[in-house]
Structure 1
């Protein structure tokens, strides 16, 4: 890989481009993508109502607060916007069912959307109600920058950073700045202030900790706070990208492609390359799940397997290649990041959904054979490639079966249909809230017509109607 030197004005160029971007410059397909992924994220947040750690998180966050100006979506309580962004960002990521930009290896909407919703509600409390078009523009700005940051810092995950948590702080600040109407100078300071708060490593994955799902919440919170501080005149390091102690040198050790950040910004859109998740687990497991479904279609069952080897790229193997432990003290996070478990569950059940990643299912005896499956790095798969996977099976009848795939469901080359997106949304809201179908359809219509909505806060109100089963006022 080639190391690159960033332009000394790269931060200013990005801030100027983002601050000047208006809704009428968004291509129609980008607007539609933002609406579909906003809907998907709201569904995943609703589905997290019973997720491990969420009740404890909400209790902890509200223990120190009185009535605020923004909404904790899972229980309807009000808190300050930074707290709401944290809670809703954690909920959006808690099932590991949220979108991903596969080449950049970042989950984007779980950070950007909660930050934008918090900023929208903060503005409303001050007497200005942002429109649906403003919300779409802010989300598009944050998501686009996030995707580009992930691509520019192409081996962040390989170094041990969790790029969703780390890079998301900067993207969330840019998105919130858009809702607040900050100019280029203050947007630059917001991103710099977000960088000062940057954190997040993959150690929480290795240890199976619930901190994994809180990471995007930390990023959303830090971004909203950074934009709020910049709005009030605080300054951040303007060389937060290219400085000697900036992102590129300090965090990424010079392994960056900085031109990706600014080239064509506002004209070409990496948003178009987002993937939506059909399965609620780490994206690194998805192709393995599809291979299990392929094996099942051939009539192969778990009891037929004497030995199985799952082959992945090296980075994927580091993330999801640990041997499955059915007695793991944190079973949900462990299973979400375990290729062997995903393969065993898909092969046995013929489907993978939220119920697959509940403690009772993870510890059930019929999936114990997952502990016998080995995961290795394949020498012919690019180390950072996320989609390719291969499974080699030795069956008890003596047969050897090899299955492989080089593309993933939900990616741009094999996208989920609108009907599949809507079905996932309804299933998630039903899992979390058992909501009235009329209220669910009302939220769906509001999001899919967000460009026609005069008050972006309508999305929050309709979400709460799903939660409460009550009509929208």
Structure 2
């Protein structure tokens, strides 16, 4: 068996590892979810639906929906930006791209995965096609996809360092199993859904390194593949059987057997990684966030950009690979700015804040910010673990010869430095106002609907009813 091949490479996986995962997932019940997990799930919904609404103005999203609507004019699911009707795979793609377009979506920092830009669009589309999925069933499926994505990210601990985009590759697998539960598949059916998803799984990190629009489309591609995989499995089509453990499975082929499988399986369904997720306070790559926090603190201390001669930012290797290249204003690229720590640091120090306006044209070409960004040098700090996302050290050299060094090991929005409920709801309202021209009452209606979701007979129906209408012309 191919599992022997995995064992020879040191993984020592049991036979039918993928099936055992699916058997575990098939046994989950809503009543087994801790109260803290249900609360987090509701805030994932609030946060992600807000970010989707905010993406209405994001570069690439209008163009994507215009193209998709030329090809499809009807269907059983909804693209939230514009309220268009699509087939479930297409709706999942449209909503997934929107959820990631602002780079403002939730993240499991240790697993390095954005989750609800893939899992939630998959479930919205699946549930709309099924019709009248209860709030409890929807929340359970959301728990499955979210927990699995975090655990896959932890198990495949250096996926991003190898050049994969784990949000996409691992999210496709996690979301397919979540959709499979909505479709009431048994363990064997879930294994087929996992196999169908694995057969489609793709996504490299090159888009983020190049700072191009395809980066924000990636979760949409993953959600589309997850929907297709789950429904084909429900129709009785068979998928790969050893999707994780096989000789050409995820662990061997994608991860080169550099995997910690116990982080996927140990305590699954009993202990929870969902509580470890972070919400993002700034709409840019998470690798920038510690440096942004430091820069805002320096601004508040009265540090002025024109007094600075040079800046050195030290970070772990994977962070450096993701956001460490020099800022190239000539690109005129919003995505490049989102994935550039030199720009993000400069913007934060000069403005004392980073918000949706910070990564727009013409802000990304602001001469004062560009001048400071050009003074920044980003280097790998070998004292920081390769895959650590939070630690950063910034050294300022001033024109009068003084130096200042600031170190920070926590990151805003994480368990160690959480956003408050008030901050999360303020972010939600601001995103809906920015993208949908939504009034505060409109945002409150959607938030209250979500907070009462377990009592709803048609979870997606009520969320679609409460979601603000798109502005004319979107």
Provide TM-score, normalisation by structure 2: 0.96
Residues 1:275 and 2:275 aligned together: no
Stretch deviating more after TM superposition (288-297 or 102-111): 288-297
Q: What is the 5 A alignment of 1:44-59?
A: 44-59=51-66
Task: Assess, with a 3 A threshold, how the Cα gap between structure 1 residues 280 and 411 changes in structure 2: closer, same or farther.
Answer: same
Deviation string for 1:39-95 (max 9, x for gaps)?
A: 000000000000000011101112211310100000001000000000000000000
Which residue does 1:206 correspond to in 2?
209
Residues 1:427 and 2:430 aligned together: yes
Stretch deviating more after TM superposition (453-462 or 186-195): 453-462
Contact 1:311/1:375 (8 A) holds in 2 = yes
Which residue does 1:165 correspond to in 2?
168
Stretch deviating more after TM superposition (367-376 or 90-99): 367-376
Structure 1: 5+ residue stretches without partners: none
Stretch deviating more after TM superposition (458-467 or 98-107): 458-467
Contact 1:3/1:257 (8 A) holds in 2 = no
Which residue does 1:120 correspond to in 2?
127
Task: Assess, with a 3 A threshold, how the Cα gap between structure 1 residues 236 and 417 changes in structure 2: closer, same or farther.
Answer: same
Cα distance in 2 for partners of 1:16, 1:433 equals: 42
Post-superposition offset of 1:468: 5.8
The secondary structure found in structure 2 opposite 1:359 is coil
1:34 to 24, 35, 41: 41
Stretch deviating more after TM superposition (256-265 or 340-349): 256-265
Deviation string for 1:391-439 (max 9, x for gaps)?
A: 0000112210001100001001111111111000000000001113222
2:406 to 387, 403, 407: 403
Post-superposition offset of 1:207: 1.6
Contact 2:450/2:463 (8 A) holds in 1 = no
Post-superposition offset of 1:458: 3.3
Post-superposition offset of 1:466: 4.4
Cα distance in 1 for partners of 2:47, 2:422 equals: 12
Contact 1:104/1:147 (8 A) holds in 2 = yes
Cα distance in 2 for partners of 1:154, 1:407 equals: 19
Contact 2:169/2:202 (8 A) holds in 1 = yes
The secondary structure found in structure 2 opposite 1:182 is coil
Which residue does 2:445 correspond to in 1?
442
Q: What is the 5 A alignment of 1:210-289?
A: 210-289=213-292
Which residue does 1:342 correspond to in 2?
344
Which residue does 2:106 correspond to in 1?
99
2:180 to 172, 177, 193: 177
The secondary structure found in structure 2 opposite 1:241 is coil
The secondary structure found in structure 2 opposite 1:376 is strand
Which residue does 2:366 correspond to in 1?
364
Residues 1:66 and 2:68 aligned together: no
Q: What is the 5 A alignment of 1:80-91?
A: 80-91=87-98
Which residue does 2:143 correspond to in 1?
140
The secondary structure found in structure 2 opposite 1:420 is helix
Stretch deviating more after TM superposition (455-464 or 315-324): 455-464
Post-superposition offset of 1:459: 4.2
Structure 2: 5+ residue stretches without partners: 1-8
The secondary structure found in structure 1 opposite 2:362 is helix
Which residue does 2:391 correspond to in 1?
388
Post-superposition offset of 1:6: 2.4
The secondary structure found in structure 2 opposite 1:402 is strand
Which residue does 2:4 correspond to in 1?
none
Post-superposition offset of 1:455: 1.1
Which residue does 1:332 correspond to in 2?
334
The secondary structure found in structure 2 opposite 1:393 is strand
Cα distance in 1 for partners of 2:108, 2:97 equals: 18
In the alignment of these two chains, the number of paired residues is: 463
Which residue does 1:13 correspond to in 2?
20
Cα distance in 2 for partners of 1:420, 1:239 equals: 43
Cα distance in 2 for partners of 1:5, 1:82 equals: 36
Which residue does 1:353 correspond to in 2?
355
Cα distance in 2 for partners of 1:8, 1:289 equals: 46
Cα distance in 2 for partners of 1:441, 1:423 equals: 11
The secondary structure found in structure 2 opposite 1:465 is coil
Contact 1:340/1:373 (8 A) holds in 2 = yes
Question: Which 4+ stretches in 1 moved above 6 angstroms?
Answer: none
Deviation string for 1:238-261 (max 9, x for gaps)?
A: 101011100000110010011221
The secondary structure found in structure 1 opposite 2:310 is strand
Let me know the Cα RMSD of the aligned residues. Answer: 1.3
Cα distance in 2 for partners of 1:151, 1:26 equals: 21
Deviation string for 1:22-52 (max 9, x for gaps)?
A: 1001000000000011100000000000000
Contact 1:13/1:262 (8 A) holds in 2 = no
Contact 1:442/1:462 (8 A) holds in 2 = no
Cα distance in 1 for partners of 2:12, 2:331 equals: 44
Post-superposition offset of 1:140: 0.4
